[in-house]
Chain A
Amino acid sequence: MANKHVNAIVVGAGAGGGVVAKELSEAGLTVVLFERGRWQDYEDHDHDELISQRITALGNAFGPDNERYRRVAQRGDKWVTVPPNEWAYNNNAACMGGGTLSYGAMAWRFMPQDFRMKSTYGELAGSTLADWPLTYEDLEPYYEKAEWEIGVSGDDSQNPFAPPRRKPQPMPPFPFNTEGRVLKAAALRLGYHPFPLPMLRNSVSYGGRPKCRRCRHCVGFACAVNAKCGTQNTVIPQALATGNCEVRTQSVVAEILFDDRGRATGVAYFDAQDQGQIQTADLVVVAGSATESARLLLNSKHRLFPQGAGNNHDWVGRNLQGHAYTGAYGLFPEVMYDDIGAGATVGLCDFNHGNEGLKGGGMLANEFIRLPYLFTDRRPPGSARWGLAHKDFQRRQFKHLTSVKGPVQEMPVFDARVEIDPVVKDHWGIPVARLSGSRHEHDVEIGHFLADKAEQLLKEAGATQTWKAPPGMGLSGGQHQAGTCRMGDDPATSVTNRYGQLHEIDNLFVADGSLHVTNGGFNPVLTIMALGYWVSDYIKKEWQSSRLRS
């Protein structure tokens, strides 16, 4: 039986897609929200490190599975097929809520300069550095909406570098744990400006869910008490409550369908029983993350755009960015790890901008969580990798180590990209994504600068031994993946307009990190959520004026 026609299809139930589904269904549009994964919760996996998003040695607890999914990655001058649990796959997650079920949940607003990187820093050879087609001021009300509807704890008044805001964050910040207290004092002595980190996590009961129990198993895990705020426990249930939204889980969208004129008419997908199906709609919103959104557009071809939807100028899949993580470790005589959440509690924005000779920078914060297996490779250079000495370090230092780390705002690179592999297909016969290229050498330069600052802070805090962990070259993507469907005013150098609407197809939208022109020196999720609201607002206005109804 044919599926009933709906107003809107949203592909991907993560940070962006969850918001769009809620906004459109509340506005009265009928919506089908597609998700290739399923509903999941803590009970499925408890605190199992080996399948957590941090390790994935035995697979990805939150999907996708190793049996049905593949990507192709560049290794030296070869192409290799990689399953989702390998780092080269650059996985995010495949479940209801997407990455927001198992994320650490830092809730950053990008700074005004982050939207104007080219104006602030000028050209950079080898980079497609550009300004966003919208400003921080444009997005500010949407950040506010994300903070209040999904739930953020924090206090930006303690961060002198925080961008201006109309309303405070809705929940008070988390108190500092031991690391937070010690690092804060050290940062103040150095003249820096430490503050409690903003978090998409309940510091008090909020949104009908309990407050955090402070167990520290946030990043990489589902929350045991549902105190972490993702789209799966906020906006998506709200979308369903309207009666206008249907979620179709374990459904894999293969391609977008078009009419003769190149307007989107719906999608072809495989349902939970692997049966091919068609769903028609007046408009389609793609929110599958930077890799999968680009893959879907590139796999959706038409006489008018034979290289894929929105790709007549060869910008779809380009400028793949994530974050080059950098920082330092320090060993302390006293116990520093108190196992108290929210884990990462203290941050600094002293080095996001204004660093001499550098185009940008990034924030620094203490570490979320310490995991026993992950810790087996946390060693000063030259340490024993096995044997009694290794075990003894594990036993003596597990709670005496502290790290300070942060994400480098990367310089976009045109050849860091997602393409369609000409040979390899997934379980459903859909051509898979192929990833290639590397980050810009300036990212590594910034990484070394930030690692020096992190090490200095750890020394000031009393670390008796420190070592740095700057990034190398390589390709970024992973959970912070962004940039592959860049928004812009010029159709020749971008994929969508400033509202996430494809330049070439007026009823096809993107609403995820793919839109990011640059990715900030921050965890990007709150910006993705804010863009979800921003794109939705535009769709609703266009819908009211009837332009989108077919």
Chain B
Amino acid sequence: MNRTGSGIRLSRRDFLAGAGLGTGMLLMGWGCAQRSAAQPWQVLTDPEARLLEAMTEQIIPADQDPGARDAGCIHFIDRQLAGFYRTHVETYRQGLIGVDQTSQVLYGKDFLACAWDEQTEVMKRLESGQAQGAIWQEISSRQFFNLVRDHTMQAFYGSPRHGGNRHYVSYRMLGLDYPQIVGQNRYRDI
């Protein structure tokens, strides 16, 4: 594959990944993209995805630079759960139930209904391994937290080839070129 060909291929993949985020209007006429807009997730259900996306945003919040939501970290995780991380699917399913259980115990409401600081507190409980909730009798809340943490970091700081780091947001934040070949430093943006 030549360099130009490779670039086109990757851009298109990023393009498709973006379809689930409300840019669908731009994609009219692309059959596969329309399918993608109707059901953006390969593994996660829509409620699971929204909960998980809120967790990723806690892990890498937006400030003057984009955060996990802007970077599309949830798309990375969903895509990997359909592929390389398929062995983690059940852990995600159980863990996400556990997150709501913990927020119910703490605040009497689901994670998504919690205020930002309340969500942060739930995350800290998960990380400590002290989270309350029936699921955490079966699996370790700390291990689940670490899994989500690592996958979110991979999504945000890894190559955009895998569905996260949309528009190279982390590389821009760090001041890095990609790919790094002298004379060819450029972001392949849509």
Contact = CB atoms under 8 A, between A and B. Distances in A.
B91 to A, nearest CB: 16
B59 A57 contact: no
Contacts of A388: 61, 63
A376 interface: yes
Interface in B59-96: 59-61, 63, 65, 67, 80, 84
Nearest to B120: A387
A548 B176 CA distance: 56
Given A213-B182, A214-B182, A339-B180, A57 B174 contact: no
Contacts of B181: 213, 215, 224-225
A46 B157 contact: no
Contacts, number: 93
Given A339-B176, A339-B180, A387 B61 contact: yes
B63 A58 contact: no
Question: Interface on chain A toward B: helix, strand, loop, or mixed SS?
Answer: loop
B132 to A, nearest CB: 20
B186 to A, nearest CB: 13
Contacts of B2: 43
A398 interface: yes
B149 A48 contact: no
A215 B175 CA distance: 14
B25 interface: no
B158 interface: yes
Contacts of B182: 213-215
Residue of A66, A392, A395 with most partner-chain B CB within 10 A: A395
A392 B158 CA distance: 17
Given A386-B60, A387-B58, A49 B180 contact: no
A50 B159 contact: yes
A399 interface: yes
Sorted from nearest, which 10 A-B pairs have the closest CB atoms? A372-B157, A373-B157, A50-B158, A48-B159, A386-B59, A376-B153, A46-B179, A213-B182, A215-B180, A47-B179
Given A49-B157, A50-B159, A372-B158, 20 more contacts: A43-B1, A44-B1, A46-B159, A47-B159, A47-B180, A48-B162, A57-B150, A59-B84, A66-B84, A213-B182, A339-B176, A372-B171, A372-B176, A373-B158, A386-B59, A386-B123, A387-B59, A388-B63, A395-B174, A399-B174
Interface of A: 43-44, 46-50, 57-59, 66, 213-217, 224-225, 339, 372-373, 375-376, 385-388, 390-392, 394-395, 398-399
26 contacts: A43-B1, A43-B6, A46-B6, A47-B180, A49-B159, A50-B154, A50-B158, A57-B158, A58-B84, A58-B162, A213-B181, A214-B182, A217-B180, A339-B176, A339-B180, A372-B171, A372-B176, A373-B158, A386-B60, A387-B59, A387-B61, A394-B157, A394-B174, A395-B173, A398-B174, A399-B175
